[in-house]
């Protein structure tokens, strides 16, 4: 029987990351990484003056 482990939150990184893995016979057989936060910056950018796009895209990540 595969065992499932979830690690959430993954710390010491920017953002909200979650890792799920399936373990069978002592080794990882399947794994998923998922971002747990969404702001919709692509949606916010639509229809804006291209000269100000940097204000938004620059703030994807502040690290």
Partner 1 sequence: MNDQKADTSQEPVSTLDRLREQGVSRRDFLKFCTGVAVALGLPLGMGEAIAEAVANQKRPPVLWLSAQECTGCTESLLRSNHPTFEKLILELISLEYHETLLAGCGKQAEDWRVKSMKENKGRYILVVDGSIPVKDNGIYCKIGGKTAQSLLEEMGAQAAAVIAIGSCASWGGIPSADPNPTGATSAHEVLKMKGITTPVVNIPGCPPNPYNFLSTVLHLLTFRKLPELDEQARPKFAYGRLIHENCERRPHFDSGRFAVQFGDEGHRKGYCLYKLGCKGPETFANCPSILYNDVGAGAWPVGTGHPCFGCTEKGVGFTVPLHYPARPKYITPPTFFTEAYPGKPEVAPGTKALAAGVAGAVIGAAGAAMLTGLGKKDDENKDKEE
Rounded to whole angstroms, how far apart are CA atoms 41 and 18? 21
If binding is defined by CB under 8 A, does position 1 make contact with partner 1? no
Least distance from C-beta 29 to partner 1, angstroms?
A: 20
Site for partner 1, residues 17 to 56, rule: CB under 8 A: 18, 36-41, 43-44, 48-49, 51-52, 55-56
User: How far is C-alpha 50 from the geometric centre of its chain's CA atoms?
Assistant: 26
Other CB atoms within 10 Å distance of the CB of residue 1: 4
Task: Find residue 21's DSSP bridge partners.
Answer: 5, 31
Among residues 2, 16, 29, 32, the one that binds partner 1 under rule CB under 8 A: 16
Least distance from C-beta 14 to partner 1, angstroms?
A: 4
């Amino acid at each position: 029987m595969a065992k499932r482990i979830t690690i959430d939150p993954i710390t010491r990184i920017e953002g909200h990351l979650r890792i799920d893995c399936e373990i069978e016979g002592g080794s990882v057989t399947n794994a998923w990484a998922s971002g747990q936060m969404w702001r919709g910056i692509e949606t916010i950018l639509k229809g804006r003056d291209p000269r100000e796009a940097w204000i938004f895209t620059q703030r994807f990540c502040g690290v």
